[in-house]
Amino acid sequence: MPVARRILLDRQEDDVLTLRRWRGGWMVWTGPAWTEAEQGAIASWVWGHLEYARYLDVNVDPPKTKPWRPNQRRISDVMAALSAATYLSDTVNPPSWAAKRSALGRETPMILGESFPSSNSMWAAMDLTGPSKSGNYISTANGLLNVTTRELRPHTPEFFNLVSVPFDYDPDAPTPQRWLKFLAELWPEDPDSVAALQEFFGYVLSGRTDLHKILLIVGPPRGGKGTIARILTALVGKGSMAGPTLASLNTNFGLAPLLGKPLAIISDARLAGKDSHQVVERLLTISGEDTLTIDRKNRDAWTGQLPTRLVILSNELPSFGDSSGAIATRFVTLVLANSWLGSEDVNLGRDLNAELPGILNWALDGLERIRITNRITEPESSREAITAMMDQASPMSAFVREACETGPMYEIPVDDLWDAWKEWGQENGRDKPGTKQAFGRNLRAVVPGVRRFRPRDGDSRQPTYVGIRLSSESEKTRSNAAHADHPVPEQRKWTPGSGSNSRPNAAHHADQHPPQPDTPHHWWIGSGPEHPNCAGCDAVRTQIEGTTR
């Protein structure tokens, strides 16, 4: 440990360490931001410091200066000591303000047996401020910018951040007119989509991951998706961006490129059906700040939370396999309708790059809105796309929305809801309803409050779902379908009998909808002769004037 502490004198800035051991990896402060360093790079630095090192051996008389003679075992011991001396808690999430540490503050020869301050007082690290303060700063090439006051302060390794804007902040930068015109061409009548993009740009720059959102841009070829992605990459720097594919997220080492990357752009998203469930799991875990164990080639597995914000570009709405439909709610979906294929502006990229300082200020305005509302604007077109995506990912979500009503007082026999599901599937081109067990599992994924029980009905018990029922419109549709094979006979006068059937209102309905001749106790009721319902049919029960027939 004394050797490790001695060489760390060269890894400090204003009494703050510029080398940290964090979440199983080495982090090095480069000035504007912290970046991950390879194990081999740190080992090379240690070898270089100790190759010709000498120490004062005080155990001989008189004390003598001797060469330290590093070898593999000694270097491994020093590396282990460095890990302990520079340890930063895994619970620290960038951007955070790390506790200021005092280093040795003096040049001394390496002397075996010298006393050093305790590790607890000297090397402890913690998150001092939490998200409220750390989220107020972003790093630019010319300093740390307070996004609330728009004031700059000098860079410091106390600010543990992974994202830095690779150009200077200029409060007087002109309004990015070409950029705003470009966005107006993309969404001529949809200012909410422009606002959502502006806020997501600010969200990426801030380093925050707490909103658990993924940006999904859907549109035709040459519709502007790539231009948006390139400008966002320019704002964070190419070294801060990864470019995986959806399929690669499901491979053994597919998440390794995301380590330490605040932005991942998945271009031209393609997803095979057999891989969709695993990819959905990865997307939910990354965007949800969940802990992941990531395999790395020729290195120990890494465990922690990825700082990565995801952007997915696609020509069509991706089809994800997710019975709960949860993945669709993670997306901020922006829909593009126009294409400039064959009429591209070849100077657009150059013009927009010239406006980057102004685009930065534009993104900071979006970040300020997030700070106030703690949410990203959801355009109307986004809600429509999310609904469509939920229906693709989870047909059960569409069935519940279109054919059912939910509530704690509702109930329906399991077989009735199962039959309705099969009929709904046939009407919507889904000929494989699956098993009844899978139906129940998917139903509870969409409506967690639904439960199944078996109430006693005489000597039998009928499985029943509680918390859901078919909607009245769905019941009516099923009733009409059930009577497709029951032609309505020629209407004839029906004489009411005794009891409630003799009421004028019942007689009126009987006049309009007479009973079937071979089933005299069945009679037709409904709002009109064009949509009759059979009150005596086993499939449907209808109530008239408070009396069930």
> For residues 535 and 238, what is the distance between their CA atoms, to the nearest angstrom?
69
The band of 95, judged by pLDDT with boundaries at 50, 70 and 90, is: confident
Count of residues making up the chain: 549
Integer Cα distance of 360 and 170 in angstroms: 9
pLDDT value for 302 = 82
What's residue 298's pLDDT?
78
In contact, 244 and 215? CB cutoff 8 Å: no
Bond preceding residue 95 cis, omega within 30 of 0: yes
Across residues 518-533, what is the average pLDDT? Answer: 38
What pLDDT is stored for residue 484 in this prediction?
53
Please spell the DSSP secondary structure of 328-368, one letter per residue.
Answer: HHTEEEEE-----TT---TTHHHHHHTTHHHHHHHHHHHHH
Distance CA 19, CA 42 (A): 9
Question: Which of 56-60, 117-121, 126-130, 288-292 ranks highest by mean pLDDT?
Answer: 288-292
The reported pTM is 0.66
313 vs 472, higher pLDDT: 313
Question: What residue ranges do the domains of the chain occupy?
Answer: 2-131, 177-390, 397-470, 484-549
Q: Phi and psi (nearest 5°) for 329?
A: -75, -10
Does pLDDT of 102 surpass 70?
A: no
Q: What is the C-alpha to C-alpha distance for residues 255 and 242, in angstroms, rounded to an integer?
A: 10
Pairing outcome for strands 404-413 and 331-335: unpaired
| β-pairing verdict for 19-22 and 25-29 | antiparallel
Query: Domain 177-390, what fold?
Result: Rossmann fold (3.40.50)
Question: In this predicted structure, what is the pLDDT of residue 19?
Answer: 94
pLDDT digits (tens, 9 = 90+) for 211-247: 999 999 998 998 999 999 999 999 988 888 999 988 8
pLDDT in tens, 107-139: 333 333 333 333 333 333 333 333 344 447 889
d(CA 269, CA 197): 19
Give the pLDDT score at 124: 35
- Looking at residue 352, its pLDDT comes to 96
Residue 135 burial by CB count (10 A; 0-12/13-18/19+): exposed, middle or buried? buried
The most confident of the ranges 25-34, 89-98, 113-122, 524-533 is: 25-34
How big is the CA angle at 86 (ends 84 and 88), to the nearest 5 degrees? 95
Span 149-165, pLDDT tens digits: 889 999 999 999 888 88
Where helices occur in 27-86 by DSSP H, the ranges are 39-50, 72-85
Q: Give the least confident one: 15-29, 99-113, 439-453, 487-501.
A: 487-501
CATH 1.10.10.10 for domain 397-470, yes or no, is: yes
Name residue, tokens 């040795």: 104
For residue 28, give both structure tokens.
Answer: 């090095």
Q: Are the C-beta atoms of 199 and 367 separated by less than 8 Å?
A: yes
Average pLDDT of the segment spanning 272-276: 62
- Identify which has the larger pLDDT, 467 or 124: 467
What pLDDT does residue 480 have? 61
* pLDDT at site 398: 86
Could you give the angle at the alpha carbon of 243 between the alpha carbons of 42 and 300, nearest 5°?
Answer: 35
Write the DSSP symbol of residue 461: E
